Chains A and B, each alone.
Chain A
Amino acid sequence: MKNSPAAKPAKSQAIRSSVGEKLFQAINIVIFVLLGLTTVFPFLNLIAKSFSSEAAVVSGMVTLFPIDFQVGTYKYVASSSMFLNAFMVSVTVTVIGSFLALFMTTLAAYPLSKPRLRGRKFFILMYLFTMLFSGGLIPTYLLIHSLGLIDKLPVLFLPFMISVYNMLIIKSYFESLPEGLEESAKIDGASNMTILVRIVLPLSLPVLATITLFYAVQFWNDYFTSLLYINSSSLKPLQLYLKELFVSSTDTFLRDNVEANLNVSPQSIQAASIMLATLPILLVYPFLQKYFVKGVLIGSVKG
């Protein structure tokens, strides 16, 4: 974030900071504290529930802090073979998918970032058009069907190898690099691909990190694709598993499993599952945040 415009008036504010101005600042801070709490509260509530005993959860006593602290819920979820399997499917799809998508997207973006490329305009329009118009759900389903991808793992990542939006972000980042770098490498006899790998990519790490995060989040969070194309339970990713868990909360599915084992409520199981499914994102998010804000800005504020 560029903070300079906000920082500058702050100095002159010392000269005339009226009562109204101070009041405004105070109210503003209160608003954002409340807003922040609104965002964080559902998580705190959920964490508290996941660590509380069945009696406390069922009687609705848990708000911000766990009551009758227990970790049985997490033990149960982490040892559930269905959860673990779904988790592994999601990890596999996320890792393979993000890597391939980053590769494909970068490879597509690089030629299009060269103004000298003949037919560049046409190729870019080909990409842009797919942002404005699509075949829709049923034709896409029929395509996947005829490709024989129904109920196969690759269906969870192959159709998402290039997001046009991400491609445009990378492309405009490439365009912002100084031309001289390429020219001097050319004189030394480097080919376009050598320049990409040896010079351009190392300089583009921030934007590549951003796009990797975007792809990883997309693959990790996707449930719709698996809802459409996956039937066998061994290929169900985490999000689909969770969705079924919420729907079946009152079903025998949970009651049998839970009541037989420990004194933990289905709600706590759901809470713990949500937390475990969100954990990977919560872990990488703070580290990548400084990159993605920049990345989004590069992609959006041009022109």
Chain B
Amino acid sequence: MRESTAPEAVPVPVKRGRGSYLRQLGSDVAKDWDLYIALIPGIAFLLLFKYAPMYGIIIAFKDFNIFDGLAASPWVGWEHFEKLFSSESFLHVFRNTLVISVYKILFLFPLPIVIAILLNELRNMAFKRTVQTVIYLPHFLSWVIVSGLFLDMLSTNGGIVNKIIVALGGEPIRFFLDNSIFRTVLVSSAGWKETGWNTIIYLAALAGIDPGLYEAARIDGANKWKQIIHITLPGLIPIILLMFILRLGSVLEAGTEQILVMYNPSVYNVADVIGTYVYRIGLGEQNYSFTTAVGVFESVVAFILILSGNALARKFFGRGIW
């Protein structure tokens, strides 16, 4: 994006009026008319499927009725938002969302970094490539399949994990029904699915670190641990930061699709998050306006988080996403 300003400025000679600017613009567009035609389908797609729903957000400020339609439904101002913050069930769902998301960040954000560093130390290239192929794989499976795999492994009825627990003298655990353990199932299955894939970006960053630095450190007598602390980690900091900002933007997302396939009424108490709540209450009970307000709240918070994360990254590290 940055480079685009320079070439645009070049063809316009200095001392000319507005008219010649427009003429220049016109001839530039005419020269590349087919490029502009090519832009149209994409922009049309954006307007229809991305921007039209943004316009639809106005139903959060209306008492929307599907028979009256968007325009005819009466305005109610901030009523739905006021209801939202005084609603016991929303606050509960909001808390669940934060808890699950924080667990996921706490346990799953550092994991790919550690694995990428260890993977990078492997000397046997064939082994390294095999490991990579294997650990990337779960990323390509659907949440339905992953939940099927976990349901099967964790079932109390012949599931391998419970068999091991029983063999070790423990009581079988009802992983998918127990309120105290279901979040662990959510976090670990998410880790199983995405950890390997998330190493890719860190491996790329590792490949960019100057090998000479390691040579030098080695000559100075730094052991493996010291090399990791003083060379590898500092080299990774920018990308770690970048990934963290991106991750922050989805704090209120918490894995709606995953939870929707995995949960059931007996664990709603601990697993119902904003996304699943909007789905159940919004579409299930056709409570359109209220749940749109919930969705808007989620989007706005995410938007603010990304913008401020980016601003902070720029301020303290001189580098952001844009």
**A217 neighbours in B (Cβ, 8 Å):** 140
**A5 touching B32 by the CB < 8 A rule?**
no
**B153 touching A32 by the CB < 8 A rule?**
no
Stretch at the interface among A69-77, A131-139, A204-212, A252-260: A131-139
Interface string of B116-146 (1 = CB under 8 A from A): 0011111111011111111111101111110
Q: Closest CB-CB distance, A41 to chain B, in whole Å?
A: 8
Interface string of A265-297 (1 = CB under 8 A from B): 001001100100110010001100100010011
Whole-angstrom distance between the alpha carbons of A128 and B278 in the complex? 25
**B135 touching A136 by the CB < 8 A rule?**
no
Within 8 Å of chain A (Cβ to Cβ): is B38?
yes
**B205 touching A136 by the CB < 8 A rule?**
no
**B120 neighbours in A (Cβ, 8 Å):** 5-6
**B158 touching A35 by the CB < 8 A rule?**
no
Within 8 Å of chain B (Cβ to Cβ): is A130?
yes
Whole-angstrom distance between the alpha carbons of A161 and B142 in the complex? 19
Considering the complex, give the chain B residue whose CB is closest to the CB of A224.
B257
Contact count band on B? 35 or more
Stretch at the interface among B50-58, B92-100, B178-186: B50-58
**B106 neighbours in A (Cβ, 8 Å):** none
Whole-angstrom distance between the alpha carbons of A94 and B183 in the complex? 32
Whole-angstrom distance between the alpha carbons of A301 and B208 in the complex? 10
**Contact among A5, A116, A134, A222 with B299 in the assembled complex (CB-CB below 8 Å):** A134
> Is chain A's binding surface mostly helix, strand, loop or mixed?
helix
**A220 neighbours in B (Cβ, 8 Å):** 142
Q: Closest CB-CB distance, B56 to chain A, in whole Å?
A: 3
**A28 neighbours in B (Cβ, 8 Å):** 118, 121-122
**B41 touching A104 by the CB < 8 A rule?**
yes
Within 8 Å of chain B (Cβ to Cβ): is A108?
yes
**A105 neighbours in B (Cβ, 8 Å):** 42
The count of residues in chain A whose C-beta lies closer than 8 Å to any C-beta of chain B is 108
Q: Closest CB-CB distance, B83 to chain A, in whole Å?
A: 15
**B143 touching A223 by the CB < 8 A rule?**
yes
Whole-angstrom distance between the alpha carbons of A4 and B141 in the complex? 31
**B125 touching A138 by the CB < 8 A rule?**
no
Within 8 Å of chain A (Cβ to Cβ): is B203?
yes
Considering the complex, give the chain B residue whose CB is closest to the CB of A23.
B224
**B148 touching A274 by the CB < 8 A rule?**
yes
**A142 neighbours in B (Cβ, 8 Å):** 53, 56, 59, 66, 70, 288
**A158 neighbours in B (Cβ, 8 Å):** 49
**B279 neighbours in A (Cβ, 8 Å):** 137
**A278 touching B261 by the CB < 8 A rule?**
no
**A10 neighbours in B (Cβ, 8 Å):** 123
Within 8 Å of chain B (Cβ to Cβ): is A141?
yes
Q: Closest CB-CB distance, A268 to chain B, in whole Å?
A: 10
Decide yes or no: A32 and B41 within 8 Å by CB, A9-B214, A133-B303 being known contacts: no
**B38 touching A110 by the CB < 8 A rule?**
yes
Considering the complex, give the chain A residue whose CB is closest to the CB of B298.
A136
Whole-angstrom distance between the alpha carbons of A12 and B52 in the complex? 60
**Contact among B46, B125, B130 with A126 in the assembled complex (CB-CB below 8 Å):** B46
**A137 touching B275 by the CB < 8 A rule?**
yes
**B160 touching A63 by the CB < 8 A rule?**
yes
Within 8 Å of chain A (Cβ to Cβ): is B115?
yes
Decide yes or no: A192 and B192 within 8 Å by CB, A104-B45, A138-B295 being known contacts: no
Within 8 Å of chain A (Cβ to Cβ): is B296?
yes
Q: Closest CB-CB distance, A152 to chain B, in whole Å?
A: 15
**A227 neighbours in B (Cβ, 8 Å):** 260
11 A-B residue pairings within 8 Å (CB atoms) = A25-B123, A108-B38, A108-B39, A115-B4, A116-B32, A136-B53, A138-B59, A143-B52, A196-B38, A267-B158, A296-B200
> What is the interface of chain B, defined by CB distance below 8 A to chain A?
1, 3-8, 25, 28-29, 32, 34-36, 38-39, 41-43, 45-46, 48-57, 59, 66, 70, 115, 118-125, 127-138, 140-145, 147-153, 157-160, 163, 192, 196, 200-201, 203-209, 211, 214-215, 218, 223-224, 249, 257, 260-261, 275, 278-279, 282-283, 288, 291-292, 295-296, 298-299, 302-303, 306-307, 322
